[in-house]
């Protein structure tokens, strides 16, 4: 079989841009879908069952959630390795980018919503693919938490949200290039800034008590046993009042500025590194 035929066969069994270093195959896609479904249940299960608010906010169960995330990461990496999507060079790049993101995060420290870790995650997911972006999101937040002493019951939820951000960047339309690509990534960075805030509010909202504001039913706290839509309505008001106009908007502005200013250069650098490393490609005769 010629080299061209081999490449055509590989492309039929994988998805992603031709310049994505780590393209996902069928097995990896199934693993990512199952991991995302399990991760979503981490956030929404209090809406589906009756739970009583408590002050500890997931404190007792957070270690078990974290233990559950680690096998997911291992399975994703093994699935990518078994399908030829992630080799030793890609793992090395994963380590480098995780360290870079961990170093970037303290520069913003979340003050007023300034988060400097997400723009690099978006750009890396765009270049290296959805599977790579998923794992990078988890490892980046874990490494930064160790660096900034930010380990707590919120960490597993931050890791899952960041994994979705990296994965989503790898799933964006493939044919968009140039200035249109930067515009698309800016729009994506704005959307995920608000989605991150929404989900990170959801992880603890059912477990707080006494949230009352001048509102039609007097409070915006979780009501055990109430219909899902009613609780979601209260939660939407809670999020709008507590984070949307402040923290989430600050995060969206940070993503926008960083992608506009640094995006073209970082994308070019990452793609150049991917081409030189020839991720996942078997060397031809004479190389």
pLDDT (tens digit, 9 = 90+) per residue, 144-193? Answer: 888 776 777 788 888 889 999 999 999 999 889 999 999 999 999 999 99
pTM of the model: 0.79
Q: Which pLDDT value is given to residue 65?
A: 60
Structure tokens at 240: 């709008």
Can you tell me the distance from the alpha carbon of 15 to that of 10, in angstroms, rounded to the nearest whole number?
9
Residue 113: which domain range?
16-277
Q: Answer whether residue 19 shows pLDDT above 80.
A: no
Count how many domains the chain has. Answer: 1
Most confident of 7-11, 29-33, 131-135: 131-135
Indicate whether 6 belongs to any domain: no
Indicate whether 285 belongs to any domain: no
Backbone dihedral angles phi then psi of residue 270, each to the nearest 5 degrees? -65, -40
Structure tokens at 108: 């913003």
Can you tell me the distance from the alpha carbon of 223 to that of 53, in angstroms, rounded to the nearest whole number?
9
Helices (H), ranges, 109-227: 118-128, 130-148, 155-170, 178-202
Q: Answer whether residue 244 shows pLDDT above 50.
A: yes
Is the Cβ–Cβ distance between 143 and 155 less than 8 Å? no
> Which residues neighbour 12 within 8 Å (Cβ) at sequence distance 6 or greater?
none
Indicate whether 237 belongs to any domain: yes
The burial class, CB within 10 Å (0-12 / 13-18 / 19+), for 131 is buried
- pLDDT tens digits along 44-54: 877 777 666 55
């Amino acid at each position: 079989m010629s080299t061209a035929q081999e490449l055509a066969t590989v492309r039929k069994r994988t998805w992603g841009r031709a310049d994505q270093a780590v393209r996902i195959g069928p097995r990896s896609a199934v693993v990512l879908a199952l991991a995302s479904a399990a991760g979503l249940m981490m956030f929404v299960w209090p809406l589906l069952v009756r739970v009583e608010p408590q002050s500890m906010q997931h404190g007792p169960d957070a270690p078990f959630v974290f233990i559950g995330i680690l096998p997911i990461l291992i399975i994703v990496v093994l699935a990518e390795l078994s399908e030829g999507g992630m080799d030793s060079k890609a793992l090395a790049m994963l380590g480098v980018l995780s360290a870079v993101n961990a170093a970037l995060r303290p520069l913003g420290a979340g003050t007023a919503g300034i988060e400097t870790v997400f723009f690099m995650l978006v750009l890396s997911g765009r270049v290296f693919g959805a599977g790579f972006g998923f794992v990078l999101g988890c490892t980046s937040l874990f490494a930064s938490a160790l660096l900034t002493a930010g380990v707590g019951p919120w960490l597993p939820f931050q890791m899952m949200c960041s994994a979705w951000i990296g994965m989503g960047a790898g799933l964006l339309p493939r044919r968009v290039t140039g200035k249109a690509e930067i515009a698309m990534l800016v729009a994506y960075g704005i959307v995920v800034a608000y989605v991150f805030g929404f989900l990170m509010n959801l992880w603890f909202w059912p477990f707080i008590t006494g949230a009352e504001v001048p509102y039609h039913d007097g409070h915006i706290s979780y009501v055990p046993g109430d219909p899902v839509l009613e609780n979601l309505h209260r939660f939407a008001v809670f999020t709008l009042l507590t984070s949307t106009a402040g923290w989430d908007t600050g995060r969206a502005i940070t993503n926008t500025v960083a992608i506009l200013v640094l995006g073209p250069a970082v994308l070019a650098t990452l793609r150049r590194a991917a081409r030189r490393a020839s991720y996942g490609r078997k060397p031809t005769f004479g190389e």
